[in-house]
Amino acid sequence: MSNYRIPFRVNKPLLVLFFTLDQFIPIAIAFALGYTFRAVFEASIFAIMYFKITSYFSENHPRGYVEHVLWYWGVLPLKLGFTVPDPLKREFIK
C-alpha cells in the first residue's frame, strides 16, 4: 500500500516546493523543453510569466473561474466535464 500525503485543508492543493501541483507541471515541462532545445532563457521567461498569472488567478478568484468566464464568453465548448460552474451565475462566492 502506497502512502498518500493528505493536504492540511480539504480544498488546499498539494505543494511541490512552493508551487502548487498544477503550477509545477507546466513550469517543469517548460524548463525541460528549454534545456532540450537550448532555449533556457525563453523557457524561464515563460515559466515566470505562467507562475505570476496562475498565482494571481488562484489568489483573487475561486477554482474554475477562468473556465467559467471563457465558457460564458463562448470561447470554450459546452462539454468540459463536471468542474465548470453554472454559466448563468455571474458572481462566485468563496
pLDDT of residue 57: 84
Residues 6+ apart with CB under 8 A from 72: 87
pTM exceeding the 0.85 threshold for the entire prediction:
no
pLDDT of residue 78: 63
User: Cα dihedral angle (47, 53, 57, 59), rounded to 10 degrees?
Assistant: 70
Instruction: Out of 5-9, 19-23, 30-34, 70-74, pick the least confident.
Output: 5-9
More confident residue, 78 or 40: 40
